[in-house]
Structure 1
Amino acid sequence: MKSLKKKRRIQVVGVAVVALVLSTGLIGYAMRDGINFFRSPSQVMEEPPAPNETFRIGGLVEEGSLERGVGEQIRFRVTDGGATVPVVFGGVLPDLFAENQGMVGTGRYVNGVFEASEILAKHDETYMPKEVMDALKEQGVYQAPDS
């Protein structure tokens, strides 16, 4: 009788381990497209990502680079002080989007141009995304806002 209980316990533990491994694998597989890593313009220029990789880029919109094209096509350059990456966006920009302001974009780097699918701009005069602030500090161009 003890032998049967021991076998049953081992079977239950084995099934539980297999179920846990399988569910962890399925969760990881489902989240693979939902995870977007942040890169600064310097990191993008040093190691260009694959054209099919979706990631986030952030920095300051370079002054004088904002070009509104025909229709909704918008071009500008984003910089962290160390490197500059051209950006193309085919949508409506946030109201607070402007030159010399912080931004974060989600998209892909194709043929030397970041093709943004989403653009986020700062939401008030003192806010800057942490990733953008860290990238600017790393390049030595971050200036703290006046309080």
Structure 2
Amino acid sequence: MNPTRKRRLVVISLILVAVVVAAALTVLALQQNITYLYTPVEVQAGKVPADARFRLGGMVKAGSIQRAGDSLKTGFVVTDGDAELDVEYTGILPDLFREKQSVVTTGRMDGKRFVATEVLAKHDENYVPRDVAEAMAKAHKKHEVSESKPAAQ
């Protein structure tokens, strides 16, 4: 093999190695930043990896909002009709946040409580991803059915 071909082979090999390393680093960075959406049932079933950052979707349970008088800390319960999960958030809540409203919160589990770093209230179906919209619609239907059942006397 002559020196010119050898040099070309080395340069091409180095370029290929650089491309593979860049692709591997990109995939690794993307995997660390992905946040999956789970419902309270899935969280309680143990489908969420320990200490993982994820999104919790569902509805704010009626009568569950508790605001601290001296800080921006707010506690509420997110339900999907089958299970409930306590959520704690410190910060300013969106204007559309209220009871019986669909929410998506981002954060981590702290024991049996979800500590949210971000709270998103449902705005309009046009702006909601399809999987989130389906999960919220299912939660709304379950919630409406459970409240419309008459109480046993």
Query: TM-score w.r.t. structure 1 length?
Result: 0.80
What is the CA distance between 1:46 and its match in structure 2? 0.8
Q: RMSD of aligned C-alpha atoms?
A: 2.6
Which has the higher mean CA deviation after the structures are superposed, 12-21 or 50-59? Answer: 50-59
Counterpart of 1:34 in structure 2: which amino acid? N
| Contact 2:42–2:48, Cα closer than 8 Å, also in 1 | no
Does residue 14 in structure 1 map to residue 21 in structure 2?
Answer: no
Counterpart of 2:82 in structure 1: which amino acid? G
| Contact 1:58–1:104, Cα closer than 8 Å, also in 2 | yes
Distance change >3 Å, CA 108–CA 58, structure 1 → 2 = same
Q: Unaligned 5+ residue runs, structure 2?
A: 144-153
3-state SS of paired residue (2:141): coil
Tell me which residue corresponds to 2:106. Answer: 106
After TM superposition, list the pairs within 5 Å mapping 1:1-147 onto structure 2: 3-47=2-46, 49-70=48-69, 71-124=71-124, 129=128, 130-136=130-136, 141=141
Q: Structure 1: which 4+ aligned runs deviate by more than 3 Å?
A: 28-33, 48-51, 126-132, 136-140
Give, in whole Å, the separation in 2 of the partners of 1:118 and 1:19: 37
Q: Deviations over 1:26-48 (max 9, x none)?
A: 32344444321111111111115
Counterpart of 1:24 in structure 2: which amino acid? A
Identity of aligned residues (%): 35
> Of Structure 1 and Structure 2, which has the larger fraction of its residues in helix?
2
| Contact 2:37–2:132, Cα closer than 8 Å, also in 1 | no
What is the CA distance between 1:123 and its match in structure 2? 1.9
Query: TM-score w.r.t. structure 2 length?
Result: 0.77
Q: Unaligned 5+ residue runs, structure 1?
A: none
Give the length in aligned residue pairs.
Answer: 141
What is the CA distance between 1:17 and its match in structure 2? 1.4
Q: Deviations over 1:59-90 (max 9, x none)?
A: 11111111112321111111111221110001
Give, in whole Å, the separation in 2 of the partners of 1:87 and 1:131: 22
Distance change >3 Å, CA 128–CA 88, structure 1 → 2 = farther
What is the CA distance between 1:137 and its match in structure 2? 5.1
